């Protein structure tokens, strides 16, 4: 019993929720990346990435849409299946796409599909206090949850663009309160996107669960970037927090390894990647 999980490389035990919590307690940076297929997932895993997210960013970087809004649950399941086959150590998180968690029951049904059909170990959903009921319901059913705060790309048409969030004090206080409420509702990880470094620091200090940042400054428990951004193959203008590791390494495995090392050494993010 449980042999499969235990045998998956005893020299590199699989990462789980407890590993991630322990890394926070030990102040060991958590290196995270997105992946969308088995080959890249394997490279990302071999480089020592702790957490791999099948992000609905696949709608933009794989499918060529302008936003993540068109991505469906079936798309997410398909790509999560591919990624799961490439991983042996990293913890696998899958995004719940736009409108796939409008009620507790719908959220439960779709997260069960992502876990049973896609082999996800955790689901990620975007939202603040409005998602507390959903997170509570998922936690009640032992579904591990990552709550995504700050810039929420699924709300791009409502907020009017991909913009830094939490710059004014009221918004920052609300975000910190939402993060705490989501943790108390059962969220196992909080992800903060595109917020001033000070907000990233305050939220991280106030929570027991790991906080993963993307454009949230250096003082969070872990960093995540979109894989295609660090490889320099995403089209268009890059956000400030992106660093292209292909420029300095020239090969894919080297670029992924350089990113993981930079996160572990806390040399990424540098001041030029951060918001104030």
State the catalytic residue, choosing from 109, 126, 136, 193: 193
Min dist. Cβ of residue 26 to ligand KIV (A): 23
> In the window 106-145, what residues touch ligand KIV (CB under 6 A)?
none
Q: Among 45, 56, 178, 188, which residue interacts with ligand KIV (rule: CB under 6 A)? A: 56
Q: How many angstroms separate the Cα of 16 from the Cα of each of 184, 186, 188, 229?
A: 20, 16, 11, 26
Nearest approach, Cβ of residue 5 and ligand KIV (Å): 26
34 binds ligand KIV (CB under 6 A): yes
Total residues in contact with ligand KIV, by rule CB under 6 A: 12
Q: Quote the least distance from Cβ 97 to ligand KIV, whole Å.
A: 9
Q: Does 95 bind ligand KIV (CB under 6 A)?
A: yes
Is residue 31 within 8 A of residue 223, CB to CB? The reply is yes
- Backbone dihedral angles phi then psi of residue 3, each to the nearest 5 degrees: -60, -40
Nearest residue to ligand KIV, by Cβ distance, number only: 55
Q: Which long-range contacts (C-beta less than 8 Å, at least 24 apart) are formed by 98-106? A: 98/56, 98/68, 98/69, 98/70, 98/71, 98/154, 100/73, 100/76, 101/125, 101/131, 101/134, 103/134, 104/133, 104/134, 104/136, 104/137, 104/138, 105/137
Q: Which of residues 36-55 bind ligand KIV (CB under 6 A)?
A: 53, 55
d(CA 165, CA 223): 17
Whether residue 109 lies in the annotated active site:
no
Comparing CB distances to ligand KIV, the nearer of 1 and 203 is 203
Closer Cβ to ligand KIV, 214 or 255, answer by number: 214
Q: Is the Cβ of residue 5 or residue 238 nearer to ligand KIV in the bound state?
A: 238
Residues tagged active-site: 193
């Amino acid at each position: 019993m449980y042999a499969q999980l235990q045998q998956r490389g005893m020299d590199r035990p699989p990462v789980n929720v407890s590993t991630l919590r322990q890394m926070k307690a030990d102040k060991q940076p958590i290196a995270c990346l997105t992946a969308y297929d088995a080959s890249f997932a394997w490279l990302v895993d071999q480089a020592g990435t702790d957490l791999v997210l099948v992000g609905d960013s696949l709608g933009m970087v794989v499918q060529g849409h302008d936003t993540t809004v068109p991505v469906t649950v079936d798309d997410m399941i398909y790509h999560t299946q591919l990624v799961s086959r490439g991983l042996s150590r990293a913890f696998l998180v899958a995004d719940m796409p736009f409108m796939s968690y409008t009620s507790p029951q719908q959220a439960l049904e779709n997260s069960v599909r992502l876990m049973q059909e896609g082999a996800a170990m955790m689901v990620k959903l975007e939202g603040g206090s409005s998602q507390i009921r959903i997170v509570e319901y998922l936690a009640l059913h032992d579904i591990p949850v990552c709550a995504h705060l700050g810039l929420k790309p699924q709300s791009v048409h409502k907020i009017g663009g991909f913009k830094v969030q939490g710059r004014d004090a009221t918004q920052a206080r609300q975000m910190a309160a939402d993060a705490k409420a989501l943790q108390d509702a059962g969220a196992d990880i909080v992800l903060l996107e595109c917020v001033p470094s000070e907000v990233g620091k305050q939220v991280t200090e106030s929570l027991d669960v790991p906080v993963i940042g993307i454009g949230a400054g250096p003082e969070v428990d872990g960093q995540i970037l979109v894989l295609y951004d660090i490889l320099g193959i995403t089209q268009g203008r890059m956000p400030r927090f992106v660093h292209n590791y292909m420029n300095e390494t020239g090969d894919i495995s080297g670029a992924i390894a350089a990113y993981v090392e930079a996160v572990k050494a806390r040399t990424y993010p540098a001041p030029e990647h951060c918001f104030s």
